[in-house]
Structure 1
Amino acid sequence: MRPHPHSTLGHGDTLRVATYNIHKGVRGVGPRKRLEIHNLGLGIEALDADLVFLQEVRSFHHREARHFERTWFGWPREGQAEFLAPEGYEVAYRTNAVTKHGEHGNALLSRWPIGDIGHHDVSDHRFEQRGLLHVPVSWNGQRVHAVVAHLGLMHASRVRQVERLAAFITAHVPAGEMLAVAGDFNDWGEKLDAPMRECGLERAQAGARLNTFPSRVPVFSLDRIYTRGLRCVASSVPRGSAWARMSDHLPLVAEFVAA
């Protein structure tokens, strides 16, 4: 895997953010099922991001742990968020969905100190458990509120979840403080930018829109970063066979300066 190019600007001047749906660290089905969590760890380290917003992260899953336990690179003993965090990073994780054999949720990996971790349920119906992970981060003497999101599969659900996001921001994020909301928005029809602007959030992109799904031949821009009080100065999506193999999504990387 070729390393993702590092920023040409110093991390002290820019906030480098990545968002990545890791597909629970496993690809394939049946006898072709393979564990990708170890490769994902190398990939996340190569992104060299200050903040990594992760979706579909497992803390535990008993069936997968049994399936992979005899492999040379087996199922991690700790939760996936802790396993994936580069050395020196702080970790925040909260469960969104509980299933028969385990669970999964959202995580934030931070190079900068983090504060109290919050979680807000935005499930729209009983078939999809969704949540917002809220983590305040101390960056260069300022506070950036990081919110990891993974919205629903139906458009009407996503609209209602954005409304709940707006209410959450009003209640928990002071108006003058910087905010980044990133994750998998499942917005196939490109309809959420307007309601996100109503929340005071602008979509981060520098240049052409970057597609992240499906990873082998990406044609949809499902993975996004929306911000308030931050200006995007660069954005990119790493490509190549190794990235295509690790998850059904590609990561999105962007750099910001204070607006």
Structure 2
Amino acid sequence: MSNILRIATFNVHKGLSTFNARFSLHDQRELLRKLHADIVFLQEVQDEHAKHSKRFSPFPLNGQLEFLADAVWPNYSYGKNSVYPAGHHGNAVLSKFPIINTENRDISAHSVEQRGMLHCEISIPGWDQTLHCICVHLGLFARWRTKQLQEVKRFIEDHVPADSPLIIAGDFNDWSLNAGRSFAESLHLREVFEHSHGKPAQSFPSWLPILRLDRIYTRGFSIRHVEVHTGPTWLKVSDHAVLTATLAHQTA
């Protein structure tokens, strides 16, 4: 098995386009398929919503997660972040390789914002160690993000061996860049775009990105290629751009 991995992270905005103008889940699925990613980190997957299932047609009967994974990613995991009377949404990980362990943790810093981190342990053929993947969606306020990253840090220190390959990706909402840098330094992580281009990627709004909200952090990999998938057509897809990275696992 090759030690090369292609990964993607994408806030699907509950399957809706920018400004909630249209139901774009089908376009999102086609876009993700064209990326040929081995592992996909997703945020704001709305796996159930009673009103949207009636309003938008065709809304997938088995939920957004299964629809997005379809036959391309046979292994997937979902963690509810926010639960409400009509349904729920949260983070998800899609994988072409077996997910052998998964855990979802509530890292909400305030009752008005439900946030979570989804941890998946993935077995990749030919690798001596399992791959640890953590998908996150952090809060809108700096003090909340700082608290949430501290919780993620403690989880990694307690549950992820220091020599195991690790990828953390998602919507960090950290436009100031301060919390992310401190987090990365404390865990000896590299943000793939910062390593390649000097700064994290501009990913929001997707059609003309200014804010650097989405991130991919790694440990135990060399970074081969990174890309932001964005442009005017994204108005019809999501308010976030997709980030992709090609990584090479560094074996001992």
TM over 0.5: yes
Amino acid of the residue matched to residue 35 of structure 1?
A: F
1:217 is matched with 208
SS in 2 for 1:59: strand
The match for 2:224 among 230, 233, 248 is 233
Is 1:54 aligned to residue 42 of structure 2? yes
SS in 2 for 1:126: coil
User: 5+ unaligned residues in a row in structure 2: which ranges?
Assistant: none
The match for 1:158 among 141, 145, 151 is 145
The match for 2:77 among 92, 106, 113 is 92
Is 1:252 aligned to residue 247 of structure 2? no
| Contact 2:18/2:237 (8 A) holds in 1 | no
Q: 1:52-110 CA distances to partner (integer Å, 9 max, x unpaired)?
A: 00000011000111112xx4xx1111121110015241111110111231110000010
Taking the aligned partners of 1:110 and 1:122, their CA distance within structure 2 comes to 23
Is 1:172 aligned to residue 159 of structure 2? yes
Is 1:43 aligned to residue 41 of structure 2? no
Taking the aligned partners of 2:157 and 2:244, their CA distance within structure 1 comes to 27
The match for 1:146 among 128, 133, 152 is 133
After the TM superposition, which parts of structure 1 deviate over 4 Å for at least 4 consecutive aligned residues? none
CA shift for structure 1 position 241: 3.3
The match for 1:184 among 162, 171, 175 is 171
CA shift for structure 1 position 28: 5.8
1:4 is matched with none
Is 1:14 aligned to residue 14 of structure 2? no
CA shift for structure 1 position 208: 5.3
Across the two proteins, how many residue pairs are aligned to each other?
243
SS in 2 for 1:194: helix
User: 5+ unaligned residues in a row in structure 1: which ranges?
Assistant: 1-10
Which deviates more, 83-92 or 143-152?
A: 83-92
1:129 is matched with 114
Amino acid of the residue matched to residue 229 of structure 1?
A: G
| Contact 1:244/1:250 (8 A) holds in 2 | no
Q: From the superposition, tell whether residues 199 and 247 of structure 1 become closer, same or farther in structure 2 (CA, over 3 Å).
A: same
Taking the aligned partners of 1:217 and 1:103, their CA distance within structure 2 comes to 29
Structure number with higher helix proportion: 2
SS in 2 for 1:220: coil
The match for 1:26 among 7, 16, 40 is 16
Q: 1:224-250 CA distances to partner (integer Å, 9 max, x unpaired)?
A: 101111121110012333334210000
Q: From the superposition, tell whether residues 198 and 78 of structure 1 become closer, same or farther in structure 2 (CA, over 3 Å).
A: same
